[in-house]
């Protein structure tokens, strides 16, 4: 079962940047997506992160997220969030954000897969996670 919250501020910021990368994959973030993005970030981190700040930041690549996780491998860092748990959060919240507009584009699905794969999920695991959130998407992924 995935963690409900990300307690580490740095990891929370990286998670938010991953969601922005997913939402931006089709080159636009509509009002509905933006509102859902803010909601999901606050839900996971416990505090709001300014969306303007995230949009101005350099786009986060999946391998950079993994490098940051490895760099915070001390005994108390990462607040106990396993990469697999983070992948589940990114998949479920990423899909929730992009589905706010009514569909998931192929580009958005591709970015979700790239993040989950970088965090150690196999394609079968990603399909299984997508089928719980958006059953029709599992056939695409």
What was the pLDDT predicted at 1?
A: 42
Question: Which residues are CB-neighbours of 11 under 8 A, at least 6 positions away?
Answer: 68, 69, 72, 78, 79, 81, 86
pLDDT value for 36: 95
- pLDDT at position 131, please? 75
Q: What is the pTM of this model?
A: 0.87
Number of domains the chain contains: 1
With respect to residue 30, please indicate whether it lies within any of the assigned structural domains: yes
pLDDT tens for the chain, 141 residues long, are 446 889 888 999 999 999 999 999 998 898 999 999 999 999 999 988 888 888 888 889 999 999 988 876 554 444 568 899 999 999 999 999 999 998 888 899 999 999 999 999 998 898 888 876 666 666 666
- Residue 16 included in any domain: yes
Domain membership flag for residue 26: yes
Output the pLDDT for position 34: 92
What range defines the domain where residue 81 resides? 9-139
Structure tokens at 64: 């950079």
Distance (Å, rounded) from C-alpha 31 to C-alpha 38?
Answer: 11
Flag whether 66 is in a domain: yes
3 in a structural domain: no
Asked whether residue 4 is domain-assigned, the answer is no
- Assess if residue 121 is contained within a domain: yes
Alpha helices (runs of H) in the chain, residue ranges in sequence order: 9-24, 31-45, 51-56, 62-71, 83-98, 106-118, 123-133
Residue 1 lies in a domain: no
Which residues, including other chains, have CB under 8 Å from residue 113's CB and lie 6 or more apart? 123, 126, 141
């Amino acid at each position: 079962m995935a963690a409900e919250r990300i307690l580490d501020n740095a990891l929370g910021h990286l998670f938010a940047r991953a969601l922005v990368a997913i939402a931006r994959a089709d080159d636009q973030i509509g009002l509905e997506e933006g509102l859902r993005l803010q909601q999901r970030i606050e839900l996971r981190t416990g505090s709001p992160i300014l969306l303007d700040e995230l949009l101005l930041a350099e786009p986060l690549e999946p391998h950079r997220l993994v490098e940051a996780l490895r760099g915070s491998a001390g005994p108390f860092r990462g607040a106990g969030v396993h990469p697999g748990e983070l992948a589940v959060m990114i998949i479920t919240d990423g899909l929730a954000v992009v589905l706010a507009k009514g569909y998931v584009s192929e580009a958005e699905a591709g970015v979700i897969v790239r993040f989950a794969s970088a965090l150690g999920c196999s394609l079968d695991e990603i399909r299984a996670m997508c089928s719980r959130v958006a059953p029709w998407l599992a056939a695409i992924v």
